[in-house]
Amino acid sequence: MRTIQNLPKINQKDFPLLENNFKNENKIIYLDHAATTQKPIQVLAKIDEYYKNFNANVHRGAHQLSAKATEEFENARSLIGKYVNANSTKEIIFTRNATEAINLVARSWGEFTLKENDEILLSIMEHHSNIVPWQMVAAKNKCKLKFVGIDQDGRLDFDDLKLKLTKKTKLVSLLHISNTLGCCNPIKEITKLAKQYGAFVLLDACQSLAHQKMDVLDLGIDFLAGSGHKLCGPTGIGFLWSREEILEKIPPFFGGGEMIQDVYQETSTWAELPHKFEAGTPAIAEAIGLAEAIKYINNIGLDNIKEYEKEITEYLFEQLSQIEGIEIIGPSPKIDPNRASLATFYIKGIHSNDIAEILDSKGVCIRSGHHCCQPLHRHLRINSTARVSMNFTTNQEEINTFIEKLKETISFLNINS
């Protein structure tokens, strides 16, 4: 058995939940990081500090607490901007999550821009968050949705993409890394192609932001959606990045306080970017907490994270492929070296929910079901799958225990089926 090198420099004690026993006598093994990551104590402490020391509303009060809260909140925006290499902080819009960011684009840009018979190109591997908002816009604006398929290895079918991209395509909206197949889509190449047809490109970066460097300018995309809770930050905070000239042109999504300049009885004028898209009191503590999470990730270094996760993913695949009957969906790390540090699998004759439930009773948390990817599962003619997802906190010992418990689970289910 090989030993994993390049361990990232983290203190396991930074993640109290991973250290605790919870309900089980064994240490909990959390392998559901793609659903949400655990939060380091630095993030919890920062949120605590905000509520204890400078809790106030932002952008409103003339008092010192509001000034401090506003400074920290806007610093958070600036850090997120740097994290994705945005041109300006005006380009970062805080949302509740990535889903809301995609809905914002669908409602503000989509409904405003798309015309009858225009086409929106998605892929069959999209998360429901990047399908349903477009179905709603397509129904309203009488547009057509098209889906790019996948190849034999479970990667985006580039030939199919070329075939389906036409002059009618106004938007290509794709995930960067699939939360189910794990493949990493070649966004720069796709954007180049999309631009030849004048199409806009939205990137759902939920599964990539905590695992590899992001450069929106280099990728040439138009919109990017991210969720804080997948980045070691709190829930309730996400963001949309878009280019200033796009955001200037499109109408706001929500109306209310904060997003206006002047309000008259019949009409209103909008605030400057980014506030035009941020109606009401924002998630202040959450934004500040997310900034702390990004600092934490930056301290480890995304290159170190990527290198380590690559190695532990190869190890996970080696171990899983030695178990009889396991079918992994998505490309192996040999085929897609940039793939996510997760593995999604099924075993004929065994329901993935049974696997997950029995593993849970042994202290191992994995996910089962369709992972918000029903069209993909239908396309593959599989009802449900089990997913093990890791991040930089996952160690080799945890994978070994998972594999051992998985083998026990399969033997038990085979005997009892």
- Give the interface with ligand PLP as residue ranges (CB under 6 A): 35, 97-99, 127, 129-130, 175, 179, 204, 206-207, 227, 372
| Eight-class DSSP state of 2 | -
**Annotated catalytic sites, by residue?**
372
Q: Is 63 left (phi over 0), alpha (psi -120 to 50) or beta?
A: beta
Kindly state the helix (H) or strand (E) to which residue 16 belongs, with its residue range.
helix 16-19
Q: Element (H or E) spanning 98, and its range?
A: helix 98-104
d(C-alpha 212, C-alpha 80), whole Å: 14
Burial 149-186 (b: 16+ CB within 10 A, else e): ebeeebbbbeebbeebbeebbbbbbbbbbbbbbbbbbb
Q: What phi, psi does 96 have (nearest 5°)?
A: -75, -35
Min. distance of Cβ 84 from ligand PLP in angstroms?
A: 16
Q: How far is the CB of 270 from ligand PLP (least distance, A)?
A: 25
- Token look-up 């809260």 returns 69
- Going by C-alpha positions, the residue among 98, 78, 79, 99 that lies closest to residue 89 is 78
Peptide bond into 8 cis (omega under 30): no
Q: Take residue 326 and report the two structure tokens written for it.
A: 């396991």
Nearest-approach distance from CB 285 to ligand PLP, in angstroms: 17
What distance in Å separates the CA atoms of residue 376 and residue 334, rounded to the nearest whole number? 22
Question: Smallest distance from the beta carbon of 101 to ligand PLP, in angstroms?
Answer: 8
